[in-house]
Amino acid sequence: MKVFALLSGLRRSMLPLAVAGLTSVGIMVSAQAQQPSPQTMVPSPPQLAAKSWFLMDADSGEVLIEHNADERLPPASLTKLMTAYLVERELDRGNISMDDMVRVSENAWRTGGSKMFIEVDTEVSIRDLLYGIIISSGNDASVAVAEHLAGGEQPFADLMNQHAQRLGLHNTSFANATGLPDPEQYSSARDMALLSQYIINDYPEHYAIYAERYFDFNDIRQPNRNRLLWRDATVDGLKTGWTTEAGYGLVASAKRDDMRLISVVMGTSSEEARAQETQKLFSYGFRYFETLNLYEAGSVLETPRIWGGAENQVRVGVDSDVKMTVPRGRSDELTARLNLRGDISAPVAAGDQLGTLEVKLGDEVLGERPLVALESVEQGGIFKRVFDMVRQFISGLFG
């Protein structure tokens, strides 16, 4: 087994790498584990005045705090995160444009609750409707886009549920595009955080809308109901919700330095309470954790032998950034191991999985990522393949 320090791709710390073939017993090789010093110890997470809450890192997906995170609760206007997500998805796919005009039906105009104040039989752009959904929390705007994209709110709800299933939102069911009360409409803190992660990562070109403090339409200025946009310059989204049944909820995201967190609180008692409880989550997460970009996409982590190929070696690495969230002050305890196949034979196509990368913090496995070929290697000529076959046989005899 070969052990070496990472030569490229690691941005904030140098992880010793152990390389092991999957056909043999792998041995973790690392520096002697160090006990965290008292100043880096992580206290118990805060307890909140809410029915459920959730805090995760947007890049690594690491869950930092959770309480009743899978409990099915009425989402109220947090529902509009999925409504906006589907609009953004259609924009990204080129099926609609920001300048497309939508005729406002009487049904959309009459929708109760919070409004963007669109008027019946007028035409409103997709751009204004998307702003109205996100900033003004307009139920009228939500119904208008549902009718425009799917022909009605019920078929749009069907689309919402199909995408909820695709995204792995296992405790979510949508019955409308607005979040108005319905017994068949529910979600969870975990699912709302996951949906927000997709919004942030999949369609970053639209994410800036969620940080806007005001939206002006029809000579009416409405403020964003997310109070943290005024209190914390690092907060840049996402959505508030309220009904009598649901209480006050807030899905928020903040970015400090290179770390982005997503928080969810559901079932608080007031607008002020949901803001304060969210601040507690962010204070805890940013104070006691950090997210490291360990390996960048395309980094070459090993060049193992390949048998029967036009080349004798193949470059192996990761095809996406490897980010891990760890307690602050413990990055020196991180180690990594490459578990590579021991019998790689040509042909190999770029992207083929050839093993796994395992990252550990002390004795705890933080995560695994696929190791893939970063290039294609074609088969060699007949003499090269025969020669390698003999060498591979002899190599097997002698281990």
Above 90 in pLDDT, residue 327? yes
Which pTM value belongs to this model?
0.87
Shared-domain flag, residues 362 and 307: yes
Interior/surface letters 106-132, b for 16+ CB within 10 angstroms, e for the rest:
eebbebebbbbebeeeeebebebbbbb
| Strands 334-340 and 16-21, bridge-based pairing | parallel
pLDDT digit string, tens, across residues 288-324: 999 999 999 999 999 998 988 899 999 999 999 999 9
Pick the catalytic residue: 52, 60, 77, 187? 77
- 137 noted as active-site residue: yes
pLDDT digit string, tens, across residues 248-289: 999 999 999 999 999 999 999 999 999 999 999 999 999 999
The CATH number linked to 214 is 3.40.710.10
Residues for the chain: how many in total? 399
Q: Which amino acid is at 111?
A: T
Residue 37 in domain: no
Shared-domain flag, residues 101 and 183: yes
Helices 126-134 and 139-150 sit at what angle, rounded to 10 degrees?
A: 130
Q: Which domain covers residue 324, as residue numbers?
A: 3-30+295-397
Residue 325 in domain: yes
The CATH number linked to 20 is 2.60.410.10
Q: Which two tokens stand for residue 166?
A: 């695709």
Query: φ and ψ at 47, to 5 degrees?
Result: -100, 135
Q: Which residue's entry shows tokens 């005024």?
A: 230
pLDDT digit string, tens, across residues 87-118: 999 999 999 999 999 999 999 999 999 999 99
Find out whether 114 and 133 touch, Cβ atoms under 8 Å. Answer: no
Quick one: 35 exposed, middle or buried, by C-beta within 10 A (0-12, 13-18, 19+)? exposed
Q: Which residue's entry shows tokens 């307890």?
A: 47
Pick the catalytic residue: 105, 136, 137, 187? 137
Shared-domain flag, residues 162 and 229: yes
| Run of H or E residues at 276 | helix 271-288
Which residues are within 8 A (CB) of 306 and not within 5 positions of it... i.e. 6 or more apart?
A: 312, 313, 314, 344, 345, 346, 348, 377
Pick the catalytic residue: 52, 60, 80, 263? 80
Shared-domain flag, residues 180 and 252: yes
Find out whether 349 and 317 touch, Cβ atoms under 8 Å. Answer: no
Find out whether 157 and 174 touch, Cβ atoms under 8 Å. Answer: yes
* Band of pLDDT at residue 160, cut at 50, 70 and 90: very high
Residue 19 in domain: yes
Q: Which amino acid is at 203?
A: Y
